[in-house]
Amino acid sequence: MQYYKIMNSNSLKVILEKLEKREITSVEITKQYLDEIKKKDSQINAFITVNDKALNEAKLADDKRQRGDKGVLLGVPIALKDVYSTRGLKTTAGSRVLENYIPPYDATAVKKLKQAGAVILGKTNLDAWAHGSSGENSDFGVTHNPYDLKSTPGGSSSGSAAAVASGMAPVAAGTDTGGSIRLPASFCNVVGLKPTYGRVSRYGIIAMGSSFDSIGHITQDVFSSALVLSVTGEIDPNDGTTGKVAVTQYHKLLGKPINGVKLGIIKEFMKEGLDSEIKKNFGKACKTLEDLGCEIVEISLPHVDYATSTYYILVPAEVSSNLGRMDGVRFGNSRDHFSAEAKRRVMIGTYTLSSGYYDAYYNKALKVRRLIINDFNNAFKSVDAIIAPTSPTPPFKLGEKLNEPLSMYLSDIYVCPMNLAGVPALSVPMEPAHNLPCGIQFVGRQFDENTIFNIAHAYEQARGDINLKLKI
């Protein structure tokens, strides 16, 4: 049997077709991905832990297929951001505090993936506790961008994006609290989904900001992203914040014409600070969507300029609460292992929640969050979806913003508003800027992932291939 060359396509459609036709086995394709990890990860540092039972899991998947099992992801290798609890497999959250922690259970999303037949390749690197936009805050080393090893892959789901981009995994699960899936997807030329808050269960995910965390994933294309959400989305009794809206088979609803769809451009994003080449490429993407029959109009989100400030008051407050359990008694090692960024966020959060400052900062930020939610709700009265660049800049150099926290935080300026509003957003590659990846994001109403998948899929098909070469 000729081995399927994984770099030809990491699309789940291709992989599943070849598995179903018995042109390749799960053991063979899993071994190929493991070989890619051995060959490339010394340069990328996308993985913290490789699953030494992956080939055994693949063999079980092949046996199930022989018996007629029809699992949606049967035999497909998948990587997991290292905040997903995995039974019997080390889960560190990118921090030495949890360096030797082995969970006794699987997160709900992991359980769903396993039930669908997925094979777990390993756990991917991230900014410790998911605190970061560059992949430089991990206690297990910096992750590098496969398209420029001296540039950031984005964060905090840095390893997940780099693994998919470099062909070390066809899918990698991530989390998005303020852009932590979409920014790495944009910087690494891949597709990244932040679902509606509550669309995928947070149970078993090491929390960053509990009212912000969205559980999503990174893939090579929109079809693959839609397929994975069809598996992971769930109303979960273990997570009271999961929505009561039924999950559909999103991947089977792609391909509908998008002529007549009305798209809004956020005027507040189209100003100083947006890189000129990204602005030009976004204009080309808009033209492609217009050629597909979409109507594009300018919209205003009047309070979006306050989104980053609001985010960096509310999220650190939740961080300080969530990290309180990491006291070296119930979980992990001493707090002495907390990184500078973790300490910074805990201190900010504790300060804003303290007596005398709660009303001045935290309570006021809650009110602004409500105004931002209202802005999105009002916008969706006149448009079907919103489009925007994912980032105002292409990937920046490693070390460039490491000692400038405020500059680093502003990397999330186009992505964190969607977390404040709890709406779904999907980043898809568009033409490169300065010979580096960049993305366009499609934003929808809460629980209306169908619409953004379909628009993004149509754009992806019309856009065609992107001419960028990996540096590994």
pLDDT (tens digit, 9 = 90+) per residue, 283-310? 999 999 999 999 999 999 999 999 999 9
Instruction: Output phi, psi for 306, to 5 deg.
Output: -95, 5
Instruction: Output phi, psi for 119, to 5 deg.
Output: -105, 125
Per residue in 2-17, pLDDT tens?
A: 344 554 578 999 999 9
Q: Residue 254: what pLDDT?
A: 98
Is 81 a residue of the active site? yes
Model confidence at 325, in pLDDT bands (50, 70, 90)? confident
Task: Indicate if the pLDDT at residue 210 is higher than 50.
Answer: yes
Homologous superfamily of 6-463: Amidase signature (AS) domain (3.90.1300.10)
Q: Residue 228: what pLDDT?
A: 98
| 432, containing H or E segment | strand 425-433
Is 427 a residue of the active site? no
Is 262 a residue of the active site? no
Per residue in 170-194, pLDDT tens?
A: 999 999 999 999 999 999 999 999 9
Per DSSP, the residues of 249-274 read -GGGGTT---TT-EEEEEGGGSSTTS
Catalytically annotated residue among 26, 40, 81, 133: 81
Segment 392-405 mean pLDDT: 94
Task: Indicate if the pLDDT at residue 405 is higher than 90.
Answer: no
Catalytically annotated residue among 26, 134, 151, 156: 156
Residue 321, classed as helix, strand or coil, is helix
Per DSSP, the residues of 20-31 read HTTSS-HHHHHH
Catalytically annotated residue among 95, 134, 158, 180: 180
Task: Indicate if the pLDDT at residue 334 is higher than 70.
Answer: no
Q: Residue 329: what pLDDT?
A: 73
Instruction: Output phi, psi for 194, to 5 deg.
Output: -100, 105
Residue with tokens 């000729």: 2
